[in-house]
Structure 1
Amino acid sequence: MAQRLVNLDIDLLRAFVMVAETGSFTRAAALLGRTQPAVSLQIRRLEDQLRSPVFDRGGRGFSLTTEGAGLLPQARRLLRLNDEIVATLGEGDLAGEVRFGAPEDIATIHLPGILGSFARSHPRIKLSVTCDYTTNLLDQMSRGLLDLALIKREPVGPELGVRVWSEPLVWVALDASILEQTPLPLIIAPAPDIYRKRALSALEAYGLAFRASFTSPSLSGQMAALRAGLGVGVLPAAMASRDLTVLGSPLPALSDTEIALVSARGMCGPAGLLAQEVLRTLEGGRSPMTSAYKTHHQY
């Protein structure tokens, strides 16, 4: 008997990938510009095509089935190939501009891969990138100056954008001898930086004396001060390079910060395409981590 030939629907695969990456039918619907019931129906149609469930809907939530987990990386490849082919053919609806914002540290770690992949898939879409503090990015978005942004936020749920990943934060310095200084010299950004807020709140809660030894809004400026041994700073763990030491006790542990993707007017059109690329590139919420750093604990 000849094997049944199935032509997979790209729209159904796109809905499947978006639900898997956001972990929510509701958030996926917002990204796709559809209603939640419409996305649920797309998933049902895909499962009918495949004759296999892709999500386990048992209990309160849902998870990928074995078949769904196997489909996800293949679906991502098909979507990327589809988008590259359409871009090569020069479809008019893939032209336009996206004004994208992100804090400097996020831009330094993640944007090169995201923007490079997006530019190859959509060469007719112009990208304008702004690096600034989250508060300023949200202000620019409210004034219509940005279409899409990656922001740092407290874990507040889905009200402010789509959660992308949690960013572990660590104390860093040139070496552990800095802990002998009292008050502790801090290398921080000016308000309203969220890492500054985390550092000051943690030290105040633990009753540790500190002083601002170096303040700069620039990530490169803060990194230079850290490498010069001017004080202790807070960085995402992914940025703790080999020439810096990650500090433990007696410094208090820092809670993670969340990274979310927010949009000014819904994630459709060129901005929606970039939003999908962001989620695909970051693999559904896993921030790359580095293990190439020294760790010091003083008891």
Structure 2
Amino acid sequence: MALRIANLDIDLLRAFVTVVEARSFTRGAQQLGRTQPAVSLQIQRLEAQLGVPLIDRGGRSVGLTTEGAALLPQARRMLRLNDEIVATLGEGDLEGEVRLGAPEDIATHHLPGILGAFARNHPRIRLSVTCDYTANLLDQMSRGLLDMALIKREPVGPDLGVRVWREPLVWVALDPSLATADPLPLIVAPAPDIYRKRALAALQTADIPFRASFTSPSLAGQLAALRAGLGVGVLPAAMTPRDLSVLGAPLPMLSDSEIALVSARGPDGPAGLLAQEVLRALERGPATAIR
């Protein structure tokens, strides 16, 4: 008796992964360039094909059943392999331009390897990277000057883009005794930097007096000031260099940093390919710290 083999539909798997990563049928449908009912039907077809429920539809947000959670990493592997084959054999002549925006710290420490690999795999696609504050990047997106952007957003704020990772923010300084200085010498970026906003709000809530000892829009400039012992700064925990100390009390806790990918285009074409690469490379958080 011949063994019956069922072939999974890549489009259905892509719909499943996109909805889960977007945490919403509506946002997933927008990313896929389809209607919400069409994407919901795709998920139902995949569930029927596998014979198990994948999405828990009982809550307000998208949740996974046990079977859905087991399928997710396997589906991502299948999509990655599919896209690698297509990139290598099917879209070798794909050309165009992708305009990507990102804050300087993310662009400097997390994007070079991703963009380098993408450029080697797609030599006919031109990459343009703009480094700026989140507010400015969103403004450029709204004016059609960028195709996508990695942005810093408030975890408790309005849902914007697809969350890529979330990690703690920490106070850092060369000399731990600076944590008790009165007023606290603060090393920050100018407004509207979100880390500056977090730092000032936390200090004001804790009624800790502070002064701006050094202000620089450049991460390199802030690190230089920190290493010179000019004050206390705020960094993502994974980006704290070994030669700086992480400070605790009496400084207040800082809410987590959240990075999201906002895209102005659908999943197809050069911008869609780059978006997939960025999400898959960073979805579990930054691979390395600058330690």
Check whether TM > 0.5.
yes
Q: Equivalent pairs: percent with the same residue?
A: 78
Note the 1:89-238 alignment, pairs <5 A: 89-91=89-91, 94-119=94-119, 122-154=122-154, 155-158=156-159, 160-238=160-238
Q: Is the 8 A contact 1:174 1:245 kept in 2?
A: yes
Instruction: Mark the CA change 1:46 to 1:122 in structure 2 (over 3 Å): closer, same or farther.
Output: farther
Distance in 1 of aligned mates of 2:123 and 2:76: 19
Note the 1:249-260 alignment, pairs <5 A: 249-260=249-260
Kindly provide the amino acid, as one letter, of the partner of residue 271 in structure 1: A
Q: Is the 8 A contact 2:24 2:61 kept in 1?
A: no
Note the 1:275-294 alignment, pairs <5 A: 275-283=275-283, 286-288=284-286
Distance in 1 of aligned mates of 2:290 and 2:148: 32
The question of 1:72 aligning with 2:56 is answered: no
Instruction: Mark the CA change 1:237 to 1:146 in structure 2 (over 3 Å): closer, same or farther.
Output: same
- TM-score when normalising by structure 1: 0.87
1:204: Cα distance to partner? 2.0
**Structure 1 stretch displaced more, 64-73 or 261-270:** 261-270
- TM-score when normalising by structure 2: 0.89
Kindly provide the amino acid, as one letter, of the partner of residue 103 in structure 2: P
1:93: Cα distance to partner? 8.2
Q: Is the 8 A contact 1:188 1:233 kept in 2?
A: yes
Instruction: Mark the CA change 1:123 to 1:56 in structure 2 (over 3 Å): closer, same or farther.
Output: farther
SS in 1 for 2:40: helix
Q: Is the 8 A contact 1:87 1:124 kept in 2?
A: no
Distance in 1 of aligned mates of 2:39 and 2:67: 19
1:14: Cα distance to partner? 1.0
Q: Is the 8 A contact 2:15 2:28 kept in 1?
A: yes
**Structure 1 stretch displaced more, 51-60 or 171-180:** 51-60
Distance in 2 of aligned mates of 1:207 and 1:46: 54
Q: Is the 8 A contact 1:168 1:255 kept in 2?
A: yes
Distance in 1 of aligned mates of 2:169 and 2:282: 18
Note the 1:12-91 alignment, pairs <5 A: 12-91=12-91
SS in 2 for 1:192: coil
Give ranges in structure 1 of 5+ residues lacking alignment. Answer: 294-299
Instruction: Mark the CA change 1:40 to 1:32 in structure 2 (over 3 Å): closer, same or farther.
Output: same
1:292: Cα distance to partner? 9.9
Aligned-residue RMSD, C-alpha: 2.5
Q: Is the 8 A contact 1:31 1:272 kept in 2?
A: no
Instruction: Mark the CA change 1:90 to 1:62 in structure 2 (over 3 Å): closer, same or farther.
Output: closer
SS in 2 for 1:163: strand
Distance in 2 of aligned mates of 1:106 and 1:185: 25
Distance in 1 of aligned mates of 2:183 and 2:139: 35
1:220: Cα distance to partner? 1.1
Kindly provide the amino acid, as one letter, of the partner of residue 156 in structure 1: G
Q: Deviations over 1:35-75 (max 9, x none)?
A: 11111111111222222222233344442233322322222
Q: Is the 8 A contact 2:265 2:272 kept in 1?
A: no
Instruction: Mark the CA change 1:239 to 1:291 in structure 2 (over 3 Å): closer, same or farther.
Output: closer
Q: Is the 8 A contact 1:188 1:212 kept in 2?
A: yes
1:217: Cα distance to partner? 0.8
Distance in 2 of aligned mates of 1:121 and 1:48: 36
Give ranges in structure 2 of 5+ residues lacking alignment. Answer: none
**Structure 1 stretch displaced more, 219-228 or 161-170:** 161-170
Instruction: Mark the CA change 1:139 to 1:214 in structure 2 (over 3 Å): closer, same or farther.
Output: same
Aligned residues: 290
Distance in 1 of aligned mates of 2:118 and 2:48: 31
Distance in 1 of aligned mates of 2:148 and 2:281: 16
SS in 1 for 2:38: helix
Instruction: Mark the CA change 1:237 to 1:60 in structure 2 (over 3 Å): closer, same or farther.
Output: same
